[in-house]
């Protein structure tokens, strides 16, 4: 599980900002929000509010960037990293970017730190707490010679030859963990950490993500399919079943298809459709259809004929199924996209009620949830604001405010609307000056 995540000098973030999933002392909604693990009380949910361009998405992109950094190492030293440091300052473009992440895997708490610029990893450290803090490795980079040096802590037993192999496989623009992926060395702690990044932390979901494509794997399991149908039924879509229709399409020549597959996409109005080659004259595809039961009669609609909101929630049904059945974390940008506010809340409550060891970190503009203390905790609500000095992102939770600002009786939504909590756009008047081109 994620404990906390810190970012410095990345995108709109200048100074170190930390998103924490550690619950405060409040016992409000304890059974729904809080998971006790490794002696810590961790939250299942973190919702980030804020004005446009305040840095909400940047936080999720930073987490996704770190995941890619670890799991997809570069193959050549000349490859650079695709990110921008904080640019609204004379110094930060020349300074390093820093990530720190603390998480729990197999009942062990880990702290992982990475410092980098666009060309190289300059520093990397990994610690475990079992129970005391212990160094697993420290990595430094000789930037002039583009060479990696790794020093292991006393806890790690590794031969000199294995250490040299790991150093040779860790390019200056690779993490040590990425270099480890290229070797046959067995280090239990490395495996643990990599399993967390690959198995627990999922890739970023945004409004353009094709969730239904990934859902086909879930549908292959009958029990998962029953759960998905149940989720959709409870969301008032009148959906009674999910059908997978296999279709064989005759083609004149396989080369003609490979050179011009667009005509098949246009035919079905579905650019994400997948085809499988059977022979030189045949291809096959699978279509998802949803069965609706209305007045005791069944009606079948292809998924691409459903409304945008139905398609979006159909994809989220798969995400929710995974969150309930497994132990995972999903970062989601604009969770409310194409969803009715009530359905947005329904999704969150379904997750909080049924999940056991999963987490969601999501950005949203749906602030109506702030008006109902029966369904949210202050420490689960985060706000991004732009500093007056240089427009840099500042991140804080409602739990950071003292009782002078937020009391048990405070209407959080009204306080947010009035700007007492920050994170709202500072808008000017509505009048636009337009110069006339008419000759006088």
pLDDT digit string (tens) for 109-147? Answer: 999 999 999 999 999 999 999 888 999 999 999 999 889
**CB under 8 Å to 126, separation ≥6 — which residues?**
110, 111, 112, 113, 135, 136, 137, 176, 177, 189, 193
Which DSSP state fits 277?
A: E
Residue 268's pLDDT is what? 46
Provide mean pLDDT across the span 223-252: 88
Residue 128's pLDDT is what? 96
Provide mean pLDDT across the span 304-312: 89
* Structural contact between residues 398 and 383, judged by C-beta atoms closer than 8 angstroms: yes
Residue 2's pLDDT is what? 98
Residue with more model confidence, 8 or 305: 8
Predicted confidence band at 266 (pLDDT cuts at 50, 70, 90)?
very low
Strand order in the sheet with 329-332: 329-332, 359-363, 45-50, 381-386, 393-397
Round to whole Å and give the CA distance between 224 and 233: 14
* Beta bridge mates, 149: 140
Q: Could you give the angle at the alpha carbon of 23 between the alpha carbons of 20 and 24, nearest 5°?
A: 110
pLDDT of residue 261 exceeding 90: no
- Mean pLDDT score of the chain, rounded to an integer? 89
Residue with more model confidence, 428 or 64: 64
* Structural contact between residues 155 and 149, judged by C-beta atoms closer than 8 angstroms: no
Round to whole Å and give the CA distance between 257 and 259: 5
Residue with more model confidence, 260 or 17: 17
Whose CA is closest to 423, among 415, 435, 431? 415
Q: What count of Cα atoms within 13 Å lies in the side-chain half-sphere of residue 180?
A: 21
Least confidently predicted of 17-21, 44-48, 248-252, 310-314: 248-252
Predicted confidence band at 176 (pLDDT cuts at 50, 70, 90)?
very high
pLDDT of residue 407 exceeding 90: no
Round to whole Å and give the CA distance between 267 and 314: 23
Whose CA is closest to 209, among 321, 323, 301, 335? 335
Rounded alpha-carbon distances, angstroms, from residue 183 to 76, 112, 139, 140: 16, 20, 17, 19
Round to whole Å and give the CA distance between 148 and 170: 7
Residue with more model confidence, 380 or 267: 380
Neighbours of 226 (CB within 10 A): 13
* Structural contact between residues 417 and 424, judged by C-beta atoms closer than 8 angstroms: yes
Predicted confidence band at 271 (pLDDT cuts at 50, 70, 90)?
low
Backbone conformation region of residue 146, classed left if phi is above 0, alpha if psi is from -120 to 50, else beta: left
Structure tokens at 184: 């046959």
Q: What count of Cα atoms within 13 Å lies in the side-chain half-sphere of residue 9?
A: 16
Provide mean pLDDT across the span 78-92: 95
Whose CA is closest to 330, among 137, 63, 120? 63
Assign 384 to helix, strand or coil. strand
Residue 259's pLDDT is what? 72
Each residue's pLDDT tens digit, 199-215: 999 999 999 888 877 78
Q: What pTM did the predictor assign? A: 0.90
Predicted confidence band at 267 (pLDDT cuts at 50, 70, 90)?
very low
Residue 269's pLDDT is what? 47
b/e burial code for range 62-78 (CB count within 10 A of at least 16 → b): bbbbbbbbbbebbeeee
| CA 330 to chain centroid | 5
Structure tokens at 24: 């405060």
Whose CA is closest to 225, among 318, 355, 300, 287? 318
Least confidently predicted of 50-64, 158-172, 237-251, 380-394: 237-251
pLDDT of residue 409 exceeding 60: no
Rounded alpha-carbon distances, angstroms, from residue 230 to 178, 288, 321, 326, 397: 40, 17, 10, 17, 34
Round to whole Å and give the CA distance between 67 and 2: 13
Provide mean pLDDT across the span 278-301: 86
Neighbours of 357 (CB within 10 A): 16
Round to whole Å and give the CA distance between 243 and 223: 14
pLDDT of residue 97 exceeding 50: yes
Provide mean pLDDT across the span 313-326: 94
């Amino acid at each position: 599980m994620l404990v906390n995540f810190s970012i410095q000098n990345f995108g709109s973030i200048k100074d170190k900002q930390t998103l924490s999933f550690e619950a405060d002392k409040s016992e409000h909604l304890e059974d729904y929000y809080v998971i006790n693990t490794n002696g810590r009380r961790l939250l299942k949910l973190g919702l980030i509010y804020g004005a446009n361009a305040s840095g909400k998405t940047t936080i999720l992109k930073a987490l996704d960037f770190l995941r890619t950094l670890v799991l997809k190492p570069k193959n050549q030293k000349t490859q650079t990293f695709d990110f921008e440091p904080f640019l609204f300052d004379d110094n930060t473009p020349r300074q390093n970017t820093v990530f720190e992440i603390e998480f729990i895997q197999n009942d062990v708490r880990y702290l992982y730190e990475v410092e980098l610029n666009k060309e190289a990893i300059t520093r990397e450290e990994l610690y475990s707490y079992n129970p005391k803090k212990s160094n697993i490795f420290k990595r430094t980079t000789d930037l002039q010679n583009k060479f990696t040096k790794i020093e292991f802590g006393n806890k790690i037993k590794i031969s000199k030859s294995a250490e040299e192999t790991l150093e040779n496989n860790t390019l200056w623009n690779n993490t040590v963990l990425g270099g480890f992926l290229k070797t046959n060395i067995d280090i239990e702690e490395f495996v643990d950490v990599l399993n967390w990044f690959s198995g627990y932390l999922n890739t970023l979901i945004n409004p353009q993500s094709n969730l239904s494509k990934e859902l086909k794997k879930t549908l292959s399991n009958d029990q998962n399919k029953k759960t998905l149908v149940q989720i959709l039924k409870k969301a008032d879509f009148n959906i009674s079943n999910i059908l997978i229709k296999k279709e064989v399409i005759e083609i004149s020549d396989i080369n003609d298809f490979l050179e011009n597959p667009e005509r098949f996409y246009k035919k079905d109005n579905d650019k994400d459709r997948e085809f499988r080659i059977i022979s030189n004259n045949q291809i096959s595809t699978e279509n998802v259809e949803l069965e609706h039961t209305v007045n005791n009669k069944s009606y079948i609609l292809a998924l691409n004929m459903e409304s945008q909101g139905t398609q979006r929630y159909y994809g989220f049904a798969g995400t929710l199924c995974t969150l309930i059945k497994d132990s995972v974390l999903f970062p989601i940008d604009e969770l409310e996209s194409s969803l009715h506010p009530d359905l947005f809340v329904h999704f969150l409550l379904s997750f909080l009620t049924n999940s056991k060891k999963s987490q969601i970190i999501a950005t949203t503009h749906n602030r109506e949830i702030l008006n109902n203390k029966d369904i949210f905790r202050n420490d689960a609500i985060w706000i991004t604001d732009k500093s007056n000095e240089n427009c840099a992102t500042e991140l804080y939770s409602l739990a950071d405010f003292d009782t002078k600002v937020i009391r048990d009786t405070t209407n959080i939504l009204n306080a947010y609307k009035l700007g007492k909590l920050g994170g709202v756009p500072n808008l000017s008047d509505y009048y636009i000056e337009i110069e006339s081109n008419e000759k006088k």
